[in-house]
Amino acid sequence: MQRLRIRYAKRGRLRFTSHRDFGRAFERALRRAGIPMAYSSGFSPHPRISYSTASPTGAASEAEYLEIALAQVCVPELVKSELDRALPPGLDVLGVVESDGSSLADRLTGSAWRIELPGVAPDVISAAVTTFLAADSAPAERMTKNGLRTFDARESVLRLVADDQGMELVTRHLTPLVRPDDVLGAMTRLLPAFAPSQPLITRLRQGEVNHTTGDIVEPF
C-alpha cells in the first residue's frame, strides 16, 4: 500500500464548498481519474482517505491537506495532474508527495490567515487589533449541536497584525478549534465599532507552528 499526501486549494466560488461536499467531489474525482484506491474492509468498503482540519465554509484556502492510500504504487506527479484535471476549477491540487509515515494531524498544529476587511477604516482595524491583543481573554460564541458554546478566542492567537486592508492572523489549533470568524466576532464584542460585514478570509499556510516566532512549517 502506498500513501500519498495531497495539498489542495479552495478558490473563488468554491470557497463556499462545505467539507462534506468537498469529500463527495473528491471521491468522484478519484474515480474519474482512475486512481487505484485502497479500500476499507467490512460490509460497506470505502476509499481510504484521511482528511485534515478543514477551512471554514466561505473561507478560501491555499493550504488544505489530506492523505490517500493506494492499492498500487503510482507516480505522485501523475496523480497530481490527473486529480487536478478531474476536479472542478477552484478546487486545485497544488502538490502530491509520498507520505513520510508521520501523522498528518500531528503536523498540522497551526494556520496562517489573511483577512481582508472591505469597508472598514484602517484606524478601526488598528484599534480592534490593539484592543484584542491587550485583552486577557476574548470570549467567542458558536452554535453547536449541543447549543451555544462560549470559549476564549484570545488563547489560540499567536500573531495578529493590522494593515490598511485587513490583518494577518496566526492561530494554534486548540480544542475547540478557533476560526478566523471566531476571532472577528470576539474583536467586535471588545470593540463594537469594528463589526466587519463581509470579511474575505484565506488560509495561506498550515503546518507545525513555532510557538515562539509564530512561523508555520508546512508538511511538505
Which cell numbers in the block locate residue 159?
A: 500573531
Q: Is the pLDDT of residue 129 over 90?
A: yes
- The mean pLDDT of the chain is 95
State the average pLDDT over residues 103-116.
Answer: 95
* Residue 207 near residue 219, CB atoms below 8 Å: yes
Radius of gyration of the chain (CA): 19
Helices 76-86 and 19-33: crossing angle in degrees, nearest 10, is 120
d(C-alpha 65, C-alpha 29), whole Å: 16
**Mean pLDDT value across residues 116-137:** 97
Burial of residue 72 (number of CB atoms within 10 Å: 0-12, 13-18, 19+): exposed
What pLDDT, on a 0 to 100 scale, did the predictor assign at position 211? 76
Helices (H), the chain: 19-33, 76-86, 104-107, 122-134, 180-190
CATH assignment, 108-217: 3.30.70
d(CA 80, CA 121): 42
Per-residue confidence (pLDDT) for residue 41, from 0 to 100: 87
* 3-state class (DSSP) for residue 56: coil
User: Is residue 40 a contact partner of residue 46, using CB atoms and an 8 Å limit?
Assistant: yes
Higher pLDDT, 149 or 92: 92
The answer to whether 191 touches 182, Cβ cutoff 8 Å, is no
CB 83 within 8 A of CB 66: no
* pLDDT-derived band at 57, boundaries 50, 70, 90: very high
Pick the CATH number of 2-106 from 3.30.1360.120, 3.30.70.580, 1.10.10.10, 3.30.565.10: 3.30.70.580
pLDDT surpasses 90 at 20: yes
140-148 contacts, C-beta under 8 A, 24 or more apart: 140/178, 140/182, 140/183, 140/185, 140/186, 140/189, 141/185, 142/176, 142/182
Would you list the domain boundaries of the chain? 2-106, 108-217
pLDDT tens string 182-207? 999 999 999 999 999 999 999 999 99
Confidence of residue 67 (pLDDT cuts 50, 70, 90): very high
Tell me how far apart the alpha carbons of residues 96 and 106 are, in angstroms, rounded to a whole number: 19
The whole-number average pLDDT for the span 3-7 is 98
| pLDDT exceeds cutoff 90 at 1 | no
Banded model confidence at residue 142, pLDDT cuts 50, 70, 90: confident
Residue 42's pLDDT is what?
81
Mean pLDDT (whole number) for 15-31 = 95
Write the single-letter amino acid at 54: A
Mean pLDDT, residues 48-65 taken together: 95
